[in-house]
Amino acid sequence: MNITVQKYGGTSVADIERIKDVARRVIRSKKPDQGLVVVVSAMEGTTDDLIRRAEEITPVPSEREMDQLISTGEQISAALLTMAIQYAGFPAVSLTGIQVGILTDDSHTKARIFKIDPRKIFELLDQDTIVVVAGFQGINLKKDVTTLGRGGSDTTAVALAAVLKAEVCEIYTDVAGVYTADPRIVPGAFKLDRISYDEMLELASLGAKVIQNRAVEFAKKFHVTLHVRSSFIEDEGTFVTEEVDTMSMEQVVIRGVTLTLDEAKLTITLVPDTPGIAAHIFKSIAQANINVDMIIQNVSEKGFTDVSFTVPRPELVKTKNLLENISGEIRAGKVTVEEKIAKVSIVGVGMKSHPGVAAIMFEALAEEGINIMMISTSEIKISCVVRAKDGERAVRALHQAFDLDRKQSK
């Protein structure tokens, strides 16, 4: 049996009318002898709303309870969509991540899937039933509910496509595909027909939230073809696949520009500049399961230095509390926090073979009078931290500096 997995994001199931539209689209696409599995996100705004409510109670909610809470959004949309499909006369069943048996590790709010038991889904598909799965959620070995990080329904869909050996995993969203930059920020952004897993992984990791980075990781590992497309129109979107034509890929120096406002910067001052201190700081942070992104250490003055780094914004309070304890232990100075930061990045495999890309980036930002606070580079990306209010302007300047609305090869 050919199997297709479709995933509908929050805007696609934003209200009852949209849910009915999705039901019609699902039914239209259902072919005889084809197994159809539909993964849904929570209705638009639901997850944010639930998080806000928790924060009204406590600034540091228990992560287990947070998962109990935020996993409910997807259960609602899955049940409503299933009712709409049934009402149109088609057999359908909704399942939670727990009922499917999506086993994850213990990292609440950002759990990783390590096993899925596909038997229940196969049984239903054999009866020609459309299976609707609540995205974003799983269960750990202690039988506690876990969630997969913001945007995690994408990962549910791709992981299911991998275990079910689906022909394609379609990610339905509110834009027509993957663009050279967020089309809401750069109106002239160019829609890509195809992109390689590696470039998509970088774009997604650096803020192009059109698909969650872990979903791309899964797709690459298990060779799942992704098709990112709009749930509002019928046109084809962007295929995310293996790199085929390396030559033409490398001719395009920069594939896209991204922005993320989801990080915050912490600085610990007057850190004794002696061996082992950085290891002590970052080991304690790693033990608390906090992902550090960029790090800079200033030049040492009179045996002391300042160390700054960025973390995901939801981890800020936890990291600050931890860092204040560490500061006491190592006899360092105060801990300061900067929340209003943005990270802009340029991504492209072609960067490997083209010198001078960083210089163009820094020049474009300088011409806009945008100050760079931190820089990090890898083979296929360069990121700069700037003030939050400069973020969107920086994206537009970089998109133009690299001629992205014109230079894309198809």
Sign of CA dihedral 81, 83, 88, 90: positive
- Cβ 379 to ligand ASP shortest distance, Å: 29
Integer Cα distance of 203 and 210 in angstroms: 9
Rounded Cα–Cα distance for residues 62 and 67 (Å): 9
Q: Does 73 help bind ligand ADP (rule: CB under 6 A)?
A: no
Q: How many CA atoms lie within 13 A of 373 on its CB side?
A: 23
135 contributes a contact to Mg ion by CB under 5 A: no
HSE (side-chain half, CA atoms, 13 Å) at 214: 18
DSSP run (H or E) holding 260: strand 256-260
Non-local CB neighbours of 22 within 8 Å, separated by 6+ positions: 8, 12, 13, 40, 81, 84, 172, 231
Q: Which of the stretches 148-156, 192-200, 258-266, 369-377 binds ligand ASP when contact is defined by CB under 6 A? A: 148-156
Closer residue to ligand ADP, CB minimum distance, 43 or 125: 43
Question: Is the Cβ–Cβ distance between 163 and 117 less than 8 Å?
Answer: no
Do the strands 137-139 and 145-147 form a parallel or antiparallel pair, or are they unpaired?
A: antiparallel
Beta pairing, strands 2-8 & 34-40: parallel
Query: Which partner from the list ligand ADP, Mg ion, ligand ASP, none does 383 bind, CB cut-off 5 to 8 Å by kind?
Result: none
Strand partners, 260: 343
Contact positions with ligand ASP (CB under 6 A) in 24-53:
41-42, 47
Contact flag: residue 348 with ligand ASP (CB under 6 A): no
CB atoms within 10 A of CB 273: 17
Whichever of 253 and 259 has its CB closer to ligand ASP, that residue is 259
Strands 34-40, 238-241: pairing kind: unpaired
Residue window 154-173: x/- pattern of binding to ligand ADP, with contact defined by CB under 6 A: -------------------x
Nearer to Mg ion, 129 or 260 (CB): 260
Cβ proximity to Mg ion: between 151 and 207 the closer is 151
Contacted entry of ligand ADP, Mg ion, ligand ASP, none for residue 47, CB cut-off 5 to 8 Å set by kind: ligand ASP
Tell me the C-alpha distance between 370 and 15, whole Å: 40
3-class secondary structure, 263: strand
Cβ-based nearer residue to ligand ASP, 16 or 366 = 16
Does 151 help bind Mg ion (rule: CB under 5 A)? yes
Applying CB under 6 A, the site for ligand ADP has a residue count of: 19
- What is the nearest approach in angstroms of ligand ADP to the Cβ of residue 323? 31
Rounded-to-integer distance, Cα 282 and Cα 288, Å: 10
Is the Cβ of residue 153 or residue 258 nearer to ligand ASP in the bound state? 153
310 binds ligand ADP, rule: CB under 6 A: no
Binding-site ranges for Mg ion (CB under 5 A): 9, 151
Binding-site ranges for ligand ASP (CB under 6 A): 9-10, 41-42, 47, 73, 135-136, 150-154
Binding-site ranges for ligand ADP (CB under 6 A): 9-12, 41, 151, 173-175, 178-179, 181-182, 184, 203, 208-210, 256
